[in-house]
Protein backbone atom coordinates (compact mmCIF):
# COMPACT_ATOMS: atom_id res chain seq x y z
CA UNK A 1 0.00 0.00 0.00
CA UNK A 2 3.02 2.30 0.33
CA UNK A 3 4.31 1.74 -3.19
CA UNK A 4 3.04 3.69 -6.18
CA UNK A 5 4.01 2.54 -9.65
CA UNK A 6 4.33 5.18 -12.32
CA UNK A 7 4.72 3.91 -15.87
CA UNK A 8 6.66 5.75 -18.55
CA UNK A 9 4.55 7.20 -21.30
CA UNK A 10 4.84 5.60 -24.75
CA UNK A 11 7.91 6.40 -26.87
CA UNK A 12 10.15 7.44 -23.97
CA UNK A 13 12.59 4.63 -24.65
CA UNK A 14 14.40 6.74 -27.24
CA UNK A 15 15.03 9.48 -24.68
CA UNK A 16 16.30 7.04 -22.08
CA UNK A 17 18.57 5.30 -24.57
CA UNK A 18 20.22 8.61 -25.42
CA UNK A 19 20.84 9.25 -21.74
CA UNK A 20 22.11 5.69 -21.35
CA UNK A 21 24.42 6.08 -24.31
CA UNK A 22 25.98 9.28 -23.00
CA UNK A 23 25.52 10.30 -19.41
CA UNK A 24 25.17 6.87 -17.84
CA UNK A 25 27.94 5.42 -20.02
CA UNK A 26 30.26 8.24 -18.95
CA UNK A 27 29.40 7.62 -15.29
CA UNK A 28 29.97 3.87 -15.63
CA UNK A 29 33.34 4.38 -17.31
CA UNK A 30 34.43 6.73 -14.53
CA UNK A 31 33.14 4.29 -11.91
CA UNK A 32 35.17 1.44 -13.41
CA UNK A 33 38.26 3.69 -13.44
CA UNK A 34 37.87 4.73 -9.79
CA UNK A 35 37.10 1.17 -8.71
CA UNK A 36 40.24 -0.14 -10.43
CA UNK A 37 42.25 2.68 -8.88
CA UNK A 38 40.86 1.79 -5.44
CA UNK A 39 41.71 -1.89 -5.91
CA UNK A 40 45.30 -1.09 -6.92
CA UNK A 41 45.76 1.23 -3.95
CA UNK A 42 44.26 -1.36 -1.60
CA UNK A 43 46.57 -4.05 -2.97
CA UNK A 44 49.63 -1.81 -2.69
CA UNK A 45 48.80 -0.96 0.93
CA UNK A 46 47.61 -4.37 2.18
CA UNK A 47 49.44 -6.77 -0.14
CA UNK A 48 46.23 -8.57 -1.09
CA UNK A 49 43.11 -7.87 -3.12
CA UNK A 50 40.03 -6.53 -1.37
CA UNK A 51 37.21 -9.07 -1.29
CA UNK A 52 34.49 -6.40 -1.27
CA UNK A 53 33.72 -2.74 -0.67
CA UNK A 54 31.97 -1.44 2.37
CA UNK A 55 29.12 1.03 1.96
CA UNK A 56 31.21 4.12 2.74
CA UNK A 57 33.85 3.17 0.16
CA UNK A 58 31.13 2.57 -2.44
CA UNK A 59 29.58 5.97 -1.70
CA UNK A 60 32.95 7.67 -2.17
CA UNK A 61 33.53 5.86 -5.46
CA UNK A 62 30.07 6.82 -6.72
CA UNK A 63 30.55 10.45 -5.67
CA UNK A 64 33.95 10.64 -7.39
CA UNK A 65 32.51 9.00 -10.50
CA UNK A 66 29.59 11.41 -10.71
CA UNK A 67 31.86 14.43 -10.17
CA UNK A 68 33.99 13.32 -13.11
CA UNK A 69 31.02 13.46 -15.51
CA UNK A 70 31.50 16.87 -17.10
CA UNK A 71 28.60 19.29 -17.42
CA UNK A 72 29.00 19.51 -21.18
CA UNK A 73 28.26 15.77 -21.48
CA UNK A 74 25.04 16.18 -19.54
CA UNK A 75 24.04 19.30 -21.47
CA UNK A 76 24.79 17.69 -24.83
CA UNK A 77 22.75 14.55 -24.25
CA UNK A 78 19.84 16.38 -22.63
CA UNK A 79 19.68 18.64 -25.67
CA UNK A 80 19.98 15.65 -28.00
CA UNK A 81 17.10 13.96 -26.21
CA UNK A 82 14.99 17.11 -26.57
CA UNK A 83 14.74 17.69 -22.83
CA UNK A 84 16.54 21.06 -23.02
CA UNK A 85 17.72 23.35 -25.80
SS3 53: coil
55 or 15, which is more confident?
55
pLDDT (average), residues 24-39? 93
Write out pLDDT tens, residues 41-69: 999 998 888 888 889 999 999 999 999 99
d(CA 68, CA 81): 21
DSSP 15-38: HHHHHIIIIIHHHHHHHHHHHHHH
Q: pLDDT band at 15, cuts 50/70/90?
A: low
Phi, psi angle pair for 3, to nearest 5°: -110, 130
Does pTM top 0.75 for this prediction? no
Taking alpha carbons only, the member of 83, 71, 73 closest to residue 26 is 73
Amino acid sequence: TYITLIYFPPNTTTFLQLLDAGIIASFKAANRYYYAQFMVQYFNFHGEASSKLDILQAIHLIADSWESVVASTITHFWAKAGITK
